Structure 1
Amino acid sequence: MNAITYAEPPESHPEIPLPGGDVTEGVVRVGDTVRRPIGPNAPLVHALLRHLEETGFEGAPRFLGVDAAGREVLTFVPGEVAGRPRPPWLADEERLASVGRLVRAYHEAVAGFVVPDGVRPGLGLDEPPGTPPPPPYPVELVGHMDYTPDNLVFRDGQAAALIDFDIAKPVTRADELVNAMLYWAPLGDPADAEPLLQGVDVPRRCRILADAYGMSETDRSRVVEVAVMRTRRSWFLMRQNAEELGGGWARMWADGVGDRIKRREAWLERHGAGLDAALTAP
């Protein structure tokens, strides 16, 4: 799938470095655009962003093409991002509910999207031997699957847009909500939580997300199972990314993400019943 060449405007603008999250480096703002390195999942991401534009979804950047330096060009999405250090509002429950509503709006917009023929979602790696299986449910849509505070743009105290679709892939709605809960509840050992999220009522925050999204009873009943299975898989996949892709993946592994994943699995096994009760209570 060939990308269009971006036509630069006649006026020039300086390149202003932007935070690239844990993995992506070399992200800059140029005028009203963002320039990013093209990743292995770009054919899917570009097709997905075109679809979101065609549906009128306002909560994602527009893909404009590829510049002369070989970088993808996206529209700059204005607003507030919870970068590091995290802002005081990170634990705010109204903002949390708005995350659930934004995820739902994205799902409504992406529902008709089909992965183009010949496009292989992912980072270009085969699963390493011994990787546990994914949850046994048929995929429903192409999910964002990276709802970190760094990847949500807020305006007027509400989650308004998603950025960084680099690891988008076909998943279930339950997978997506578990991913959002992972970062915003958060799911995991409290010792590993963002300082502003230590001591919060995790089951309550999961329920707020589920209610704001309008999560089905079936999907609520699957959250703990999906969270455990995805956590077990992530240890193998993160180690592989660190070993084969290096860069930010290797830095995260060296910083102990593998140990944090193991602690999350143990925490989910201890607290799964309480999470399930909070999510499924009338």
Structure 2
Amino acid sequence: MVATVLHEIPLQGGDVTDGVVRIGDTVRRPTCRSSPAVHALLRHLEAVGFEGAPRLVGVDAAGREIITFVPGTAGLTADSVTDQALERLAGLLRGFHDATAGFPLAGHRWEGGSNDDAAPEVIGHCDLTPDNAIFRGDRPVALIDFDLARPTTRLFDVVTTLRHWAPIADPVDRHPLLRDVDAGARVRLFCDAYGLPSRERRRLIPLARLRFGRSYEMMRARAAEGGGWARMWADGAGERIRRAAAWLDTHEDEVHAHLV
């Protein structure tokens, strides 16, 4: 019998994690300090029947985590930027948050990062960029890359997601497919689809502003560690955060009008 040779196919798209490869129907990723917590979370999501995340298979001989490969497309496409896709993404994030109910908010070591000052309610993905959502057409089917997941509030994770998907950003930094959209209208659409109550919508803009400030400081500090964070910083991540904050200051009234 001839042994089957499984080839490693490098997977691109993430900003921080290097060395992610596909082997057959699995993905191999280097572990990090939050991996035990993430593995516990993935096992919990499987146990409660949440379909929108890869399954944890184990750890290979090289010490890499093994998770199932989710077929589909990551990144922004004409299909994934539609209003229907945005509504469905909000529903997927809501389903993820609901699925974390019962998972302990304490007792695990998570990757640090900016956060809400309010008491944690759920485990947030905290990095739901277009590279970390898998779509089939205009339907998001899975969230991937949970390295930055941590206890937080629903609103913080919503704000983090809208940063990239509304997007709350200066048009000069937006993807061409989102450059001319009405970001305020997309914020409203997402909040409606998620089911965010009025009291939380009133906190959305102040929390976005708080997040910009803390994200800037956090990313600047991590850039000193080298690796992916340093590459992002050198590529202008800090300047993009500053421009996004300035855009929000200028357009706050317009965004707020969509939230009342």
| TM range, smaller chain | over 0.9
Aligned length: 258
CA deviation after TM superposition for structure 1 residue 250, in Å: 0.5
Q: 1:44 aligns with which of 37, 44, 49?
A: 37
Tell whether the 8 Å contact from 1:97 to 1:208 is kept in structure 2 after alignment: yes
Tell whether the 8 Å contact from 2:123 to 2:152 is kept in structure 1 after alignment: yes
Structure 1 pair 156/194, CA: closer, same or farther in 2 (3 Å)?
closer
Give 5+ residue unaligned stretches, structure 2: none
CA deviation after TM superposition for structure 1 residue 116, in Å: 5.7
**Residue 28, structure 1, aligned to residue 21, structure 2:** yes
- The equivalent of 2:97 in structure 1 is 107
RMSD of aligned alpha carbons: 1.6
The DSSP-based 3-state class of the residue aligned with 2:190 is helix
CA distance in structure 2 between the aligned counterparts of 1:47 and 1:264, rounded to whole angstroms: 34
TM-score, normalising length from structure 1? 0.87
CA distance in structure 1 between the aligned counterparts of 2:116 and 2:71, rounded to whole angstroms: 36
Superimposed CA distance per residue, residues 125-159 of structure 1 (whole angstroms, 9 cap, x where no aligned partner): xx8xxxxx854311111100111111111124211
CA distance in structure 2 between the aligned counterparts of 1:20 and 1:14, rounded to whole angstroms: 19
CA deviation after TM superposition for structure 1 residue 93, in Å: 1.1
TM-score, normalising length from structure 2? 0.94
- The equivalent of 2:208 in structure 1 is 227
Q: 1:89 aligns with which of 76, 79, 82?
A: 79
Tell whether the 8 Å contact from 2:59 to 2:65 is kept in structure 1 after alignment: yes
Structure 1 pair 113/212, CA: closer, same or farther in 2 (3 Å)?
same
Letter in 2 for 1:183: H
- The equivalent of 2:151 in structure 1 is 170
Letter in 1 for 2:18: E
Give 5+ residue unaligned stretches, structure 1: 1-9, 128-132
**Residue 240, structure 1, aligned to residue 230, structure 2:** no
Tell whether the 8 Å contact from 1:20 to 1:26 is kept in structure 2 after alignment: no
The DSSP-based 3-state class of the residue aligned with 1:89 is coil
Q: 1:259 aligns with which of 222, 239, 246?
A: 239
Letter in 2 for 1:33: T
The DSSP-based 3-state class of the residue aligned with 1:142 is strand
Structure 1 pair 155/14, CA: closer, same or farther in 2 (3 Å)?
same
The DSSP-based 3-state class of the residue aligned with 2:208 is helix
Letter in 2 for 1:173: R
**Residue 146, structure 1, aligned to residue 135, structure 2:** no
The DSSP-based 3-state class of the residue aligned with 1:88 is coil
